[in-house]
Structure 1
Amino acid sequence: MAKIRTSRIDKLLSSMGYGSRSEIARMAKTGAITLDATKLLDATKHIPIDPDLPTRMKINGEALDPISGMVILMNKPLGTTCSHKETGALVYDLLPKRWNRRNPAISTIGRLDKQTSGLLLLTDDGDLLHRVISPKRHVKKTYRAKLARPLDGTEGDLFASGHLILDGEEKPLAPAELDVISETKALLRVTEGRYHQVRRMFAATGNHVKELHRERLGGLSLPDGMAPGQWTLLSTEEIAMIFQ
């Protein structure tokens, strides 16, 4: 039988971004932390880290945030950056402020550049992050591109050939699938995540991407009606869809 992990209340809540250990101790003394409606006045007490803890523990009357291992699906808006360090609007600014203090930290699973919108995953699960971005997994990423010039009809065969080498690189790209929507719009499915890959692929054909939006990642797509900047937590079943 697996041993249930336990943690001190102050250590757990501090790692989840609720404050320093001394701040957590003060919160406990004021009765702000409850478990099964019982006040936890001693923040040094050890409690079991059960899967249902977020539904049983409350902080200032609000349900506890998800414990480590959460995955966030976001509709990334244009103009935001997938970075902890750069200035300007960051995707992390769209999450609760305390989540930026979590340890392990929340990171994006791969990146979308500043002028690319659409489906973005974030997680504090390092193992999952590496599984998703691993070339061995061949997780498909589907992008909708609007181009500056009409397609000439040769792009699909070139992208599917597995022989296209991007400027400045030596290794050919893995085969990719192109579905033409109109003269200047197309869906492109790739299994790699090289730097500005989709933009550079179309640049190799003499074209330029004016607008780029990621629609799918593996078996996941953005929920209907999810506006730019909105996000949701994924269930275990939804996380599994990444690899479908």
Structure 2
Amino acid sequence: MPAERLDKILAHHGFGTRKDVKRLCHKGLVFLNGKIATDPAVKVDIGSDTLVIDGKKITLQHDLYIMLNKCRDVVCANRDGEHQTVFDLLDESLKHKFLGGDLHCMGRLDIDTEGLLILTTDGKLTHSLLSPKTHVPKTYGVGLRDALSEEEKLRYAETFSKGFWIDREQNEDGFNCAPAVLKWREKDGKFTLEGENPALYEAVEKNSSGKSDCLLTIFEGKFHQVKRMFAQMGNQVVYLKRVKMGELSLDPQLEPGSYRELSEAEIALLKQRQTD
């Protein structure tokens, strides 16, 4: 990881402007690897150096990766005059500018959609995973207004597997939907998920009250795509929860509205899909 100037690091960690940091250094309150650091321009290795300010150890972090279990009635925006935002759910300690950039949503979920949302400062990773050429799969638990016969379920699955035309909605143009994978809940109430992490099934069931009739995996991210796909079939989505993005599944232990930082292994799962 590249080294950063001491004054830049401390400014990003809430210690004021670079002039403020300079004063801290001159007062002898800044210790780098156990030694007083008087030069605010000295380079600090984020990955290995130790930084203590006025007796308090500072956690050095270039980028932040958060998994949030988004709840309903919360919007994916920095500010909203009417609704609570996903950033309102975060602790104040996370609401500062990081070295890697501003904390932002990796994609968006509608106000009535629940589930897996990644918040990160890693703009390069976000741009890569949201690029149309990357085709990152996203899996949703879907609850439908109308119950379907077994024959109708087969028709839906076959239509989705081939891709089909989606009509225009509001100001959004119609488009040819790419092939998608649709799996219905079995008669025993379970999903058949061969080769999947058991956490995926747990994430679908947790707090859903059995609302998910099927699992849909899409490989693009058009406006209201899942809702429009089922509307095109003459049905209506009444419950929607994202449970997987790429190889990363929602942690079933996360209650709605709660969050945690991703582990190194989980970050690696996301970066598997990263393009140059």
Which category of TM-score, normalised to the shorter sequence, fits these structures? 0.7 to 0.9
Alignment match of 1:96 (pick from 83, 91, 95): 91
Q: What amino acid does structure 1 have at the position aligned with 2:157?
A: G
C-alpha contact (below 8 Å) 1:156/1:177 kept by paired residues: yes
How far apart are 1:18 and its partner, in Å? 4.7
How far apart are 1:5 and its partner, in Å? 2.6
Runs of 4+ in 1 over 4 A off after TM superposition: 22-34, 37-40
The answer to whether residue 140 in structure 2 is matched with residue 143 in structure 1 is yes
1:153-194 deviations in Å (ceiling 9; x for gaps) = 222122111223233434301111111116971100011111
How far apart are 1:143 and its partner, in Å? 0.3
User: Residues 121-140 of structure 1: matches in 2 within 5 Å?
Assistant: 121-140=118-137
The answer to whether residue 201 in structure 2 is matched with residue 203 in structure 1 is no
The answer to whether residue 21 in structure 2 is matched with residue 13 in structure 1 is no
Q: When the two structures are superposed, what TM-score results if normalisation uses the length of structure 1? A: 0.83
Equivalent-residue separation in structure 2 for 1:227 and 1:167 (angstroms): 35
C-alpha contact (below 8 Å) 2:77/2:85 kept by paired residues: yes
RMSD, matched Cα? 2.7
Which residue of structure 1 lines up, in the alignment, with residue 205 of structure 2?
Answer: none
Q: What amino acid does structure 1 have at the position aligned with 2:180?
A: A
Moved more, 16-25 or 176-185: 16-25
C-alpha contact (below 8 Å) 2:248/2:266 kept by paired residues: yes
Alignment match of 1:57 (pick from 28, 34, 51): 51
C-alpha contact (below 8 Å) 2:230/2:237 kept by paired residues: yes
The answer to whether residue 43 in structure 2 is matched with residue 47 in structure 1 is yes
Q: What amino acid does structure 1 have at the position aligned with 2:164?
A: H
The answer to whether residue 64 in structure 2 is matched with residue 70 in structure 1 is yes
Equivalent-residue separation in structure 1 for 2:19 and 2:244 (angstroms): 43
How far apart are 1:50 and its partner, in Å? 3.3
Instruction: Determine helix, strand or coil for the equivalent of 2:165.
Output: coil
Gaps of 5+ in 1: none
Moved more, 31-40 or 129-138: 31-40
1:65-115 deviations in Å (ceiling 9; x for gaps) = 522x33221111222111113233111122232533315211111101111
Equivalent-residue separation in structure 2 for 1:132 and 1:144 (angstroms): 21
Describe the shift of the 1:149–1:38 C-alpha distance in structure 2 as closer, same or farther (beyond 3 A). Answer: farther
Equivalent-residue separation in structure 2 for 1:181 and 1:115 (angstroms): 22
Describe the shift of the 1:171–1:66 C-alpha distance in structure 2 as closer, same or farther (beyond 3 A). Answer: same
Which residue of structure 2 lines up, in the alignment, with residue 110 of structure 1?
Answer: 107
How far apart are 1:144 and its partner, in Å? 0.2
Which residue of structure 1 lines up, in the alignment, with residue 209 of structure 2?
Answer: none
Equivalent-residue separation in structure 2 for 1:36 and 1:229 (angstroms): 38
Gaps of 5+ in 2: 188-211
Alignment match of 1:224 (pick from 235, 252, 275): 252
Moved more, 127-136 or 78-87: 78-87
How far apart are 1:37 and its partner, in Å? 4.8
1:175-217 deviations in Å (ceiling 9; x for gaps) = 1111111697110001111111111111111212111111111
Describe the shift of the 1:198–1:192 C-alpha distance in structure 2 as closer, same or farther (beyond 3 A). Answer: same
Equivalent-residue separation in structure 2 for 1:174 and 1:18 (angstroms): 49
How far apart are 1:124 and its partner, in Å? 1.2
Q: What amino acid does structure 2 have at the position aligned with 1:203?
A: A
Equivalent-residue separation in structure 2 for 1:24 and 1:95 (angstroms): 26
Equivalent-residue separation in structure 1 for 2:24 and 2:78 (angstroms): 28
C-alpha contact (below 8 Å) 1:199/1:208 kept by paired residues: yes
C-alpha contact (below 8 Å) 1:17/1:99 kept by paired residues: no
Moved more, 74-83 or 178-187: 178-187
C-alpha contact (below 8 Å) 2:11/2:21 kept by paired residues: yes
Q: When the two structures are superposed, what TM-score results if normalisation uses the length of structure 2? A: 0.74
Describe the shift of the 1:23–1:75 C-alpha distance in structure 2 as closer, same or farther (beyond 3 A). Answer: farther
User: Residues 16-35 of structure 1: matches in 2 within 5 Å?
Assistant: 16-25=13-22, 33-35=30-32
Q: What amino acid does structure 1 have at the position aligned with 2:85?
A: L
Instruction: Determine helix, strand or coil for the equivalent of 2:175.
Output: coil
